[in-house]
Amino acid sequence: MKTKVLLLLVVFGSLSCFAQEKEPRFGMEADGGASFALKKLGDARMKVGFGFEGTLHYRFYRYLGAYAGWGWNRFSSGDLFAGERCDFEETGYVFGLQLKRRIGSSPMSYYVRAGGLWNHIEVENSDGEIIEDTKHGLGYQLAGGVYIPIGKNWNINTGVKFHSLNRRDVEFSDHEKRSLDLKYLSLRVGFIKMF
């Protein structure tokens, strides 16, 4: 009889371990904020820009996951570029790995990301017409930040991102080839829903 009771306690104890709430594996995130160019783009100095990004997350190991999504950033310049005043839009896809861990015993978590970009840069004139498109190419993204819980499986995401995209030998309408090396930091705030 003692053996049966002990066996039942072990079985129910094991089941209660599985019944405990686990951290969700999937997430949907949307964030936006200011972007600060770290150098000129071609010959043009960039003003403070703005962008947003939407990503999907999947945690496949205890602290490690993957993410993929789409982003958009816009910069203006007061300088002439290819003979015109232009705006620059970087759009495309992001993908990579994310490490996420709790901060001590608090409910907040920090994260770091390293990934790639498959983006392009569109150059628009003052009328909003696209005068050049660099076509998509590879770049990279580094990011980090903090998730702050605000409700059941909802978090505010605060973070900083570094983007680097170099598109070489872009031929413009004046038949001159230019390299566009876009490097910038973004300060972002957004929301993430885990499920």
- pLDDT at position 6: 46
- Where are the chain's structural domains? 25-97+126-140
Task: Kindly report, residue by residue over 62-95, the tens digit of the pLDDT.
Answer: 999 999 999 999 999 877 676 678 899 999 999 9
Coil, strand, or helix at residue 35? Answer: strand
Task: Kindly report, residue by residue over 36-46, the tens digit of the pLDDT.
Answer: 999 988 778 89
Task: Kindly report, residue by residue over 92-145, the tens digit of the pLDDT.
Answer: 999 999 999 999 999 999 999 999 999 999 988 888 888 888 899 999 999 999
- pLDDT at position 175: 65
Q: How far is CA 156 from CA 75, 107, 153, in A?
A: 26, 12, 10
How confident is the model over 13-24, as a mean pLDDT?
Answer: 53
